[in-house]
Amino acid sequence: MTEPLRDQGRTVRRSILFAFGVALVLYVGWLLRSVLLLLYVSALFAVVLQPLVCFISGIRVGRFRPFRRFGIVVLLLLVLGALTAFGFLAIPPVAGDLRDFGQEMPTRLPHLLESLKHVPFVGHIDAQALTSRIESVITESASSMLRSLKNWAGAIFTIAMGFILTVYFSLEGDVAYRWFLSFFPFEHRHRLDRTLRRAETRMGKWLLGQGSLMLILGVASTVTYLALHVRYAYALGFLTGLLNIIPVMGAAVCIGLALLVAAIDSWGRVLGVAIFYAIYINVENSFLTPRIMKSSVDLPGLSILVGLVIGSELAGVIGALVSVPTTVLVSVLLDEYLVVKGDAPGN
């Protein structure tokens, strides 16, 4: 009886130690959640960008491939160069327009309110009091931005570290991937490897599909803004296409921003922008998205919306940004390990 009791005591002690170990790992993971999120997002971007990296690495000049080892570096330099060029082209006119708007706002706002006299309740607003309130809000916002300089510096540092980690994951991703697989029993590695590579293919196709939708929306919105003579047409068009990478939320922000800018000058321009977005959203939902995204990620719209809500709740804008590729990864894993294949009984 002594030996079984001794074995049972060892089992209980091992179980208690294992429970404490799991609790310690979870606690450390909670403390390092921001670092783990940065690592996950960087690794995810490295996977999503892999098709473009392979394309750049495969460029040949005669028999020479100049970017064979540094495709990801060339890609990031191209992106940074494009953003820098856009900043030099867009920021000066936008800054000038904002300065002029700030100077003209005290005279513009009463005229804007005057045009709303026929709208219920708006006609009773005191224009002078509202103007003073807006000016105080702008002043407080400017001082708040200066006070939060430390937070801006932290955000810039995080973005820079994300770029660096993405580069390293792209260059040394195979080593990290093999190390990750080594944690699983040998007999299960082949199946997991096959599943993750299938998810990688679909995630790469998502980037191509999403990039196509971003380009179409950016070009169409820029042309519309120019035709309607909306302020900051190029900047707004670029921002509209760029933010379209965030499903639903990005488009909503762009629509609100474009309508607000158009309202500065004319309600006719507001109507024109609203008509454009009403037509485009219907065309995108009924024609573009089913043909472009269905063939890439092969996910129903409900799962994308659920992933967006969960991602934005867990990690804000970053979570919304990576919600679709994360949903693709989860769907592939669930399909491989949990979904029962074959016909139902009785069929």
Angle at the Cα of 41 from the Cα atoms of 201 and 196, rounded to 5 degrees: 30
Judge whether residue 342 has pLDDT over 60.
no
Binned at pLDDT 50, 70 and 90, residue 114 comes out as: low
CB 172 within 8 A of CB 46: no
> Tokens for 166?
């993405």
pLDDT at 119: 53
> Tokens for 153?
């510096």
Judge whether residue 121 has pLDDT over 60.
no
pLDDT at 5: 60
CB 205 within 8 A of CB 244: no
Residue type at 203 in one-letter notation: M
**138-152, pLDDT tens digit by residue?**
555 555 555 555 566
Q: Terminal CA-to-CA distance of the chain, rounded, Å?
A: 55
Q: 120: which DSSP letter? A: T
- The beta strand positions in the chain, using DSSP E, are none
Residue type at 329 in one-letter notation: L
pLDDT at 199: 86
Binned at pLDDT 50, 70 and 90, residue 265 comes out as: confident
pLDDT at 21: 84
Residue type at 273 in one-letter notation: V
**196-239, pLDDT tens digit by residue?**
888 888 887 777 788 888 888 888 998 998 898 887 788 788 88
* 232 Rama sector, left if φ>0, alpha if ψ -120 to 50, beta otherwise: left
Judge whether residue 135 has pLDDT over 60.
no
**327-336, pLDDT tens digit by residue?**
888 888 888 8
Q: At what angle do helices 267-283 and 249-263 cross, to 10 degrees?
A: 160
